[in-house]
Amino acid sequence: MTVLAKPSLIEVEASVERLVYVREDEYTVARMSAETRPAFVASGRALAGVQPGETLRLAGEWEEHPRHGGRLVVRRCERVVPSTVPAIALYLGSGLIRGIGPRLAQAIVEHFGERTLTVIDTEPERLTEVVNIGVARQAQIVEAWAEQKAVAALMVVLQGFGVSPLLAAKIYQVYGEEAREVLASDPYRLIGRVRGIAFHTADRIALRSGVPETSPQRMKAAVADRLDAAAARDGHCYLPLPVLVAAAVALVEQDEELIHRAVDALAAERRVVVEASPAGHGQVVVYSKEHHSREVALAANLTRLLRARSTMPHRPYTEDEGLHEDQRVAVNLALTSTVSILTGGPGCGKSHTLKVIAATVRAMGGRVTLTAPTGKAAKRLSELTGLPAMTVHRMLAQQADRDDGALFQQSPADADLVVVDEASMLDLQLATRLTSVIPEGGHLLLVGDSDQLPSIGPGSVLADLLRAEQIPRIRLTRVFRQAQDSGIVQAAHHIRAGEVPTLPGRGGFWFEELDDAEQVAERVVHLATEAIPRKQNIGPDQVQVLCPMRKGPTGTGELGRRLQERLNPAREGVAEHWSGPSVFRVGDRVMPIRNNYDKGVFNGETATVTAVNPQDRLIEIRTDDGETVQYTFGELDELTHAYAISVHRSQGSEYPFVVAPIVADAGGVMLRRRLLYTLVTRAKAWVVLVGRRDALEAAVHRLGTRRNTGLAARLTVSLNG
C-alpha cells in the first residue's frame, strides 16, 4: 500500500500585484511578486480583503490546477509592513494611501529609500522635501496614512472575532476613531449602520466579547433584526407578534419569555409599535416605529387629498381622441377625482390615455407634472407623452429647495395634476413624501400595472390603494389590435391569467430549454454578447440580462461577472479597483442602489464608469442623463454593476432585448408569477428565456405571499370616519 506524502507547507513573503478574482464567499485569487521567487498566483479564503500593494506573509501548499496551472493555496495570511524599496513603492503607489499615485510613490521612495514608511509615520513633515508635495498634499497623505493604520488595526481585531477583514474599512468609514469602542461596548449598533453586517456578525463579536447569551441587549437586537429583515427581504411593514417572537427565538435559541420582554422594552423605548392589526382578525402586530409612522402619515395624506375640494379648471371631457369607452371613463376620472388610479396590462392603452389626460388639462389652462420613480421610467414617460417628465425624487428635491426660501418659485408639486407613472414601484417612504407635498385641491393620478412586482422597499402601496374601495380607479382591459400580434403582450397576458405561454413562442417571445444551470449561464452570456447582437445588427448594450435570483451560477453576481469579463475585461496597465467581489473598470455599466440626495443620483438609474483614480481613491460615473458624479472607494457599496440585474431593479425600465435564465430556486422563493410577468414586460422587441420548462410552468402557477401592510385598512377607517 502506497502512502501519499502530505504536501509540505510553503512560507513566503510577497506583495499583491493585482487581484484576479474575488468570489462572493470571499475566495480570492491574486497575482503576487516576491524577492525570493518568480511571480506566482495565490488563492484561498484566507486572502479575503487583501488589496494590491499590500505585503503578506503567506503559508500554504503548492497545487497544480488542471486549467490555471500552478498556484499557492493559502492557509494562513498575515499582513506585514513592506521592507524592501520595490515593495514600499508598490504599496504607496497602489492607491491604498489617498494622495499618492505611482509616480509620486516612486519619487518618495527614491528620496527616503527603505526609511520611507518610518518617515511617513514618525516625521511626516519631511514629506515636503519631495518635489510636488506641498503642505496641503502632505496633510492629505498624513490623514490617509492614519486612516490606513486604523483600518489595519481593525482588521486584526475582527479576525480575532472570526469576522471578515473586508468589513474593517466599512466600519471605520461609519464610526471613524470610535470604531474600536463600538466593537467593544455595543457591537449590535453595527446592524443596519454598516452594510454587510447583520445580526449573526454582530452577535459573534458580542458573544466573543463576553456579552451573555441571555442579555436584554441581545434579545432586543434580535427582535429589531427580524423586523428589519422582514421589511428588507419580504417588504413587510409589520409582523404578527407570534411570528416575530418565533423568528427571534430561532435566531438566539432562547426562551420565548425573554423575547416578549424585549418587545415590551422596545415598545417602551418607542422603537417599535405594538397594536391590534389594522385589518382586524384579532391579531396583535409589531411595527418598527419608522414604518408605523409612515403608514399612518400616508393614510392621513391621502384622506386629506381625497376630502379636499378640487381646484382643477374643469370641463367634462367630450372630444373623441379615438379612445375606447373605458379610456374615456379614465380621462373623466382623472379630471374629477382628486386621487385616482389608472391600471391595466400591456397593450391596453394606458400610455395613450395618459397622453390625452395631460393634453386635456393643459388645454383647460391647468398645469401638469409628470413623474415616475426612476430616471428611465421618467424618460420613457416623456417620450410617450411628448411632455417633460422628472423622477419623483427630483420633484421632491425641488419642493425642498422652495421650502428653503425661494418664495416665488412654483414647485412642480403645485400643479393641477401630478401624475406618477409606474406607481407599482412606490414604496411606503416615497409615497408618504410624495403625498405630503401635494396641496389640497390638486389632483394625483397613479398609473401602473398592479400585476407587476411591488416596490423594492417595504409596503405595497398601489395594491393597497386598489384594495381600499373608496379610491376611484379604472382598469383598462381591452388589448388593442396593434398589440395583439406581439408575442410579448400575448405571453404577458397568459402569465397574468395563470396560463403557460405557447412554447417555444413567437413574435418577440422565445423559450429555449436547457437543464443544467452552468449550461444555462453560458447560453445566456452567449446570447447577450454575441448571438443576438450579431443577428439583430446591434450593440451588446441593447441587450439586458435580467435574473430572478442574486446568487448561484445564474444569479446577478455570477452572470454579471461573466458578462463583464466578456464585454469589459481587465487590460494591462489600465487602472481598476476591487471592492469586495466586484471590480470597477472604465466602461463598466453600473447602477446606484441607494438614493443619494447629495450626489443627485437615485436608486435604479444607470450610468457608465468614466474614470478610476487610485491616487485620490475615486471612481467617476456619468449617468444616462449626462450628470458626472464621483464616488470614493469607501462608497462603492452604493453602486452595483448593471450587466445582469435583478427583475426588481429593472422595474420602470424597458429594453429592446431581454435575456433571462429560468431555473428552479430552493422553495420557489423568487420565481413566481408576478416576477415572471414583470420580467417579460420589460422587453420591447424580444424576450428570450433560457432554462427549465418545469421551472417556467411552476413560476406561472405560483402566487406570491401578500405583504403585511395596514394601509388599506387605515384608509377605509379614515375615509369612513
* Per-residue pLDDT at 671: 87
Same domain, 397 and 325: yes
How many domains in the chain?
Answer: 5
Would the pLDDT of 3 be above 50?
A: no
Residues 228 and 321 in one domain: no
Classify residue 4: in a domain, yes or no. no
Nearest to 663 by CA among 512, 530, 543, 557: 512
Same domain, 235 and 190: no
Does a structural domain hold residue 328? yes
Question: Cα separations (Å) of 26 from 48, 551, 658, 668?
Answer: 5, 14, 30, 27
Phi, psi of 323 (to 5 degrees): -90, 145
Label the pairing between strands 69-80 and 40-44.
Answer: parallel
Say whether pLDDT at 212 is over 60.
yes
CATH of the domain at 338: 3.40.50.300
Compute φ and ψ for 672, nearest 5 degrees: -135, 175
Domain annotation covers residue 713? no
- What are the helix and strand counts (H, E) for the chain? 26, 26
* ∠ Cα 489 491 494 (to 5°): 110
Kindly state whether residues 263 and 162 are assigned to the same domain.
no
Q: How far is CA 611 from the centre of its chain?
A: 22
Over residues 615-642, the pLDDT tens digits come to 889 999 998 878 899 999 989 989 999 9
Cα–Cα distances in Å, from 160 out to 144, 157, 163, 190, 208? 25, 5, 7, 17, 9
Residue 715: the pLDDT is 95
Best-predicted range by mean pLDDT among 160-164, 187-191, 521-525?
521-525
DSSP state of 439: P
What is the residue-averaged pLDDT of the chain?
91
Report pLDDT for 407.
Answer: 46
Residue 529 belongs to a domain: yes
Question: What residues contact residue 255 under an 8 Å CB cut-off, 6+ apart?
Answer: 249
Query: Edge-to-edge strand order for the sheet containing 473-476?
Result: 389-391, 368-372, 417-420, 443-448, 339-344, 473-476
**What's the confidence (pLDDT) of residue 160?**
83
Dump pLDDT digits (tens) for 534-585: 999 999 999 999 999 998 999 999 999 999 999 999 998 888 999 988 999 9
- When pLDDT is cut at 50, 70 and 90, the band that residue 1 belongs to is very low
131-149: per-residue pLDDT in tens? 889 999 999 999 999 988 8
CATH number at residue 184: 1.10.150
Same-domain check for residues 183 and 227: no
Domain boundary among 479, 497, 520: 479
70-110: pLDDT as tens digits: 899 999 999 998 989 999 999 998 888 888 888 999 999 99
State the Cα–Cα distance between residues 256 and 617, nearest whole angstrom.
48
Residue 709, domain member (yes or no): no
pLDDT band at 489 (very low <50, low <70, confident <90, very high): very high
- Are residues 520 and 643 part of one domain? yes
User: Which pLDDT score is estimated for 322?
Assistant: 78
In which band, very low, low, confident or very high, does the pLDDT at 353 lie, cut at 50, 70 and 90? very high
Considering the domain architecture, whether residues 498 and 608 belong to the same structural domain is answered as: yes
Q: Is 351 annotated as a binding residue?
A: yes
Q: What's the CATH code of the domain at 56?
A: 2.40.50
Residue holding cell 435604479?
604
d(CA 524, CA 559): 8
Of 192, 209, 226, the residue at which a domain comes to its end is 209
Is 350 annotated to bind a ligand? Reply is yes
pLDDT at residue 6 tops 70:
no
Q: For 361-399, how does the pLDDT look when each residue is reduced to its tens digit (9 = 90+)?
A: 999 999 999 999 988 888 889 988 889 999 898 899 887
Say if residue 452 is in the same domain as residue 350. yes
Decide which of 79, 107, 140 is a domain's last residue: 79
pLDDT reported for residue 408 = 45
41 near 68, Cβ under 8 Å?
yes
224 part of a folded domain: yes
pLDDT at 413: 87
Q: Rounded to the nearest 5 degrees, what angle is found at the Cα of 470, between the Cα atoms of 466 and 474?
A: 50
- Residue 677, pLDDT score: 96
Q: Are residues 539 and 590 in the same domain?
A: yes
The string of pLDDT tens digits covering residues 242-263 is: 999 999 999 999 999 999 999 9
Same domain, yes or no, for 255 and 395? no
pTM of the model: 0.89
For residues 505 and 611, state if they share a domain.
yes
Query: Is the predicted pLDDT of residue 159 greater than 90, yes or no?
Result: no
Domain match, 196 and 224 both: no
Query: Residue 410: is its pLDDT beyond 80?
Result: no
Rounded-to-10 torsion of CA 651, 655, 657, 663: -10
* Domain interval for residue 73: 10-79
Domain presence at residue 102:
no
What angle, rounded to 10 degrees, do the helices at 392-403 and 428-437 form? 50
Residue 585: the pLDDT is 96
> Sheet holding 683-691: strands in order across?
509-513, 683-691, 655-662, 543-547, 644-646
**pLDDT above 60 for 404:** no
Q: Is 56 within the bounds of a domain? A: yes
pLDDT tens for each residue of 36-71? 889 999 999 999 889 899 999 999 999 987 877 889
Question: Looking at residues 186-201, what average pLDDT do you find?
Answer: 90
CATH number at residue 263: 1.10.10.2220
349 is in an annotated binding site: yes
